[in-house]
Amino acid sequence: GHHYSVYEARLDRLTVELNDGELHVDVEETPADDVADRFTDIWEDI
């Protein structure tokens, strides 16, 4: 049909460090939208 989905990355930063044999991974992401904001966005697209 004519249905489609839009996905948006929320990843701001990914840091990988290897120090003295230890691997450290740090992930920073954008907070998710409020449910009410997502509903408003969907409603406006209709």
Q: What six digits make up the tokens of 6?
A: 């839009």
Is position 32 within any domain?
yes
Q: Is residue 39 part of a domain?
A: yes
Q: Which residues pair with 17 in a beta bridge?
A: 24
User: Is 25 inside any structural domain?
Assistant: yes
Listed in order, strand segments (DSSP E) in the chain are: 11-19, 22-29
pLDDT score of 24: 96
Which pLDDT belongs to residue 2?
Answer: 82
Ordered per-residue pLDDT tens for the chain, 46 residues: 688 887 777 888 999 999 999 999 999 988 777 878 878 878 888 8
| Domains of the chain: total | 1
Structural domain including 39 reads 11-45
- Please say whether the beta carbons of 27 and 5 come within 8 A: no
3 three-state secondary structure: coil
Q: Determine the Cα–Cα distance for residues 45 and 11; give it in Å rounded to an integer.
A: 25
Q: Is residue 3 situated within a structural domain?
A: no
Tokens of 46: 């209709």
